[in-house]
Structure formats: C-alpha cells, structure tokens
Amino acid sequence: MPAEMSGVAGAILPLPLAGEVRATTAAPGEGVFPEPVPALTRSRCASPTSPAPRERLREWRVAEPFRPHDLLRIDVVAVAEIARDLPRWAAASLAAVPWVVVRRVPDYAGLLPVGIRGSNRAERCAAWLPPAAIVERRTPEDLTEAASWRGHPRRTEVPALAVLDAVADLLSGSAWGPAGSIGFELATGHPAAHRDSDLDILLRAPGRIGRGEAERILAGLAELPVRVDVALETPLGACSLAEIATGGPAVVKTVVGPRLVHDPWAEQGA
C-alpha cells in the first residue's frame, strides 16, 4: 500500500538545482532526465528545528528503501518553494501535479535524486528532493496491487492501459508494476499517456531469469497490440529483458552509470 506521512510541511530543506545539465541514458521505462552537475549554486535552508536531510532519509528507509521508479507526492507547501528554482514549464507541471519519480543515481548530501515530468518527452527536469517534503510514495508494485486500470476512465482510449490485465496474467507470481507514462497516470490520476504510448514494465529479478524464461515472456508480450518494454531490476541494476533473451552481454544501468556485463546476477558484487 502507498506509504503515507504527515506533519512534514515545515521549512524547506536544502534543495540544490542546476541550470547546467548533461543528458543521461536510461533503461526501458526510465526516461531520460538531465543530470544536475555536482557544482550546485542555489539552495533553500532549513530552520534549526527541522530534521537534517540525511536523518529524514534514514527514517523513510527504515521501512523500505527508495528505489528507481518510485513515485513520490510532494507536500503542497514544499512545491511552492521548490518551484521558485525550476524552469517555468517544470514549475507549472509540478504545481499542477505534485509528483516526481526517483532517479537511478546516488543520493546527494541526504537528498533524493528525482525527476519532474512535463507535457512531452522533451520536458524532463532532474532535481534533488529533501525527504521532509515527501508525503506519499507509490511503487510500481503498489500500482499492480491496486489494479486501478480495470476501471480506468481512459481504458478504451489508451491501449497500453487495456492490456495490463494480459500482462498481469503473463507475469503472475512475479513482483512487477507499470512504469513510465502509464505508471505515472495510474499513480497520480493525471492523463500522462496517449493512444500511441508504449507500456513500460518493471520486473523485479533478485534471482536469475534464464534465456528461455525471457523468451517466453517476450513471446507473450509480442502478441499484445502495444509495444511493451520490460526492465529487469537485478541486484546489479536495471537491464532490458530483451537483452537477456539474446543470451549475450547486457547493458546494466547502475547508480554509478551503465555497465556492460555477461551476467547481472553473477557480477552484482564486482
């Protein structure tokens, strides 16, 4: 179930954002967010009585660590403060839909790496979020458990929503969930997908998924009327299920950058 918090709408903790960015690549479903550079020039300071970012981050992670693709709802008071340092489109987007997605990079001084979605794929903004600003978290698995696509008002309009029952049957018994625009829409209620949207799926894979199993899943997905991209969350990082099905090396996206490996499960400690 979604994690809820209250009473965190006090002073805004340091939130460095950067105007200078560089592009990053992403595993299926992750999108591409510009990466803030280390030399950050702007921040908002906490009051002396506010918990330090690192302390608040530890409080959240006692129950469950934040992971890439988690969707976080931001306190409305924090949104107003954060928006002052954002590009105009990002500020408007966050004011309308106060949700961000966790990015796959290391924490920075106790702050969470997050991404802000705009109205199109060209509008992606990377930022750092103080944990005190978070009031709710929804994971891809939460979205699967809720299965809100079954009564979704846009189910007939967006084919990627309509095929989720078939995906659920195919992945029955696995830990999985929708990501990308479909996941964002299911979590927030905001219409982020469209008729031609692909379906991005996150599949937890703490244990090895063999080539045969990967081929079986892909064959089932190929019968659906929409393109489905599956990102495997291995102990090392995220890789494409399609690459596992080839039996060759796979590009794994880790918190410190992409790695080309032969076996994401065998090389997790390398």
CB–CB of 142/202 below 8 Å? no
User: How far apart, in whole angstroms, are the C-alpha atoms of residue 252 and residue 239?
Assistant: 5
Active site residue 198: yes
For residue 246 the two structure tokens come to 């080839």
Checking phi first, is residue 109 left (phi over 0); if not, alpha (psi -120 to 50) or beta?
left
User: How far apart, in whole angstroms, are the C-alpha atoms of residue 86 and residue 65?
Assistant: 27
Residue 126 CB coordination number (10 Å): 23
The alpha helices in 36-107, defined as continuous H runs, are 53-63, 76-82, 88-96
Cα–Cα distance list, 74 to 50, 83, 105, 188 (Å): 17, 11, 20, 12
For residue 116 the two structure tokens come to 């802000």
Q: Which of 169, 198, 229, 263 is catalytic?
A: 198
CB–CB of 23/34 below 8 Å? yes
User: How far apart, in whole angstroms, are the C-alpha atoms of residue 34 and residue 126?
Assistant: 6
CB–CB of 72/134 below 8 Å? yes
Active site residue 142: no
- What is the identity of the amino acid at 184? F
User: How far apart, in whole angstroms, are the C-alpha atoms of residue 101 and residue 67?
Assistant: 9
Q: What are phi and psi of 71, to 5 degrees?
A: -105, 130
Q: Which of 70, 75, 85, 200 is catalytic?
A: 200
Q: 206 in helix, strand or coil?
A: coil
Give me the active site residues, please: 198, 200
